[in-house]
Amino acid sequence: MKVYISATLRNYFGKNHVIETAEDNIRSVLKFLTDEYPDAKQILFDENEKIRSFIRIYVGSDDHTASDMWYKKLAEEDEILILPAIAGGAPSDSIINDKRMKAQTLDDNDIKRFEKHLLLKEISVKGQKRIKAARVVVCGAGSLGSSVIQYLAAAGVGTIKVVDDKDVALADVSSQVLHSSRDVNRPKVASAKDKVRNINKNIEFEAESVKLDSENIEEIFDGYDLVIDCTDNYKARYLINDACALLDIPLVFASIYQYEGRVGIFNHNGGPCLRCVYPEPPVPGLVPTCAEGGTISPLAGIVGSIQANEALKLIIGIGDHLDGKLLTVDSLYLNSRILNVKKNSKCPLCGLSKTIVSVEDFDYEEFCGLKESDNEVPVEGITPEELTRRMDNNDPMTIIDVREPHERAIMRFPNAIIIPIGQLARRMKELNPEVDTIFICKSGKRSILAINTLREAGYEGPMYNLKGGIDAMKDIVFSHEGAWL
């Protein structure tokens, strides 16, 4: 039997993307995996030995995450997929009603521009009018948004609102094909507006250079037919999902990481929402984000194009779509699969007994258990300036680097000991409790998790988190120490 490991988890499984086992049920497969790869236990199970809420286990296309499915005997040819959070159906009616469709007209230029659409019997004139009548919100004008925005504009979507509060950075240009070098330091929504105008000046483009929060999200989404999530962080994904569910707006979701992408449709026709699949996001540090792990440039184009395609099918009302399903694409090993997603009757947002009745801003660190409570010993931090001074003075200390190998390849840290978070508890004897231990990561989040992990394991030596991580340190140290790079 083959067990496929999602890209976001492979560091816990010896970097393997597929593992073969002779076991014949989920329970024994999980035991085999955690015996063979001890570091995987912490990512799969919580402290109570229960499967973590952001992990899904599929056999074929069916969800077998519930523990009562784990003892069912499986066939040798069955394939298991372990899938963490990173957030179909028969043909259905269009989300654009006939009244709005009939109110649209196509002039001579439209006929010429959309000739290839009009030749398709599933689209034709009626379908193109529905596209013109559609009002769509795209959240994020980055990697995924680049493809989505341009294809929606090229297809003739009548109103496109783009929400993004960031400016274009030089590092964005390699994968965010909506922007060019000339757009660096400009707001992303301004760059997006220019590109859309160049494609079709008749499209009504609305630029929202704001950060989504509980105070503005409902007003921003209200009156729109469809929301497309092209964001890159868990807080935004859950905020968008909740707003769409409460406003009864379909959501086209996608996420990417390294070489792997996912696409699904939530909150449509009574189907599941994101919380049905993943009730909670993973603890920061356990599963890296695309900002920490990177992505191959074309992946965003592949996945974003699928998002745009799903959006257009919903608008027109044609074909099979991903309502109640999740498409996974692995561009490195050239495989894809469609997984069934069931509505969770216990979902706090869309289940039978709803406990979420309004959009609420939440503190992601508190949501994931990283925020210090009044009863917890606070995690002490050290500033980049102080660490630099102590390094210059050769003060006795131990520096532990918990970053991923590809992160260290880009920028190494001098004299640091490399210990992944999953190995800290069993390797704590390598630390000297008589001297300070400084933990470093990219942005200062995973190092907090590392310190808390060692505390739980009983380590009592002094520990400090580098505030802001390497990102905050590089301008102080790396800019004049070329040998460190």
Decide if 211 contacts 165 (C-beta within 8 A). yes
Decide if 307 contacts 144 (C-beta within 8 A). yes
- Side-chain-side CA neighbours of 357 within 13 Å: the count stands at 4
- The CA angle 206-252-321, to the nearest 5 degrees, is 130
- The CA angle 164-245-213, to the nearest 5 degrees, is 35
**In 60-104, at which residue ranges do the beta strands (DSSP E only) sit?**
62-63, 79-84
Please tell me which residue in 230, 273, 290, 350 is annotated as part of the active site.
290
Which residue(s) pair with 399 in the sheet?
Answer: 438
Please tell me which residue in 230, 273, 368, 441 is annotated as part of the active site.
441
- Supply the Cα-derived Rg of the chain in whole angstroms: 24
- CA 1 to chain centroid, in Å, comes to 29
Give catalytic status of residue 276 as yes or no. Answer: no
- CA distance linking residue 253 with residue 255, whole number of Å: 7
Any residues with CB less than 8 A from the CB of 411 and at least 6 apart, and which? Answer: 470, 474, 478, 484, 485
Please classify residue 107 by burial: count the beta carbons closer than 10 Å to its beta carbon, then call 0-12 exposed, 13-18 middle and 19+ buried: exposed
Q: For the stretch 57-66, what's the b/e string if a residue is b when 16 or more beta carbons lie within 10 angstroms of its beta carbon?
A: bbbeeebbbe
Selection from 140, 136, 118, 115 nearest residue 127 by Cα: 118
Give catalytic status of residue 273 as yes or no. Answer: no
- CA distance linking residue 236 with residue 79, whole number of Å: 32
- CA distance linking residue 238 with residue 110, whole number of Å: 38
Q: Name the residues annotated as catalytic.
A: 290, 441
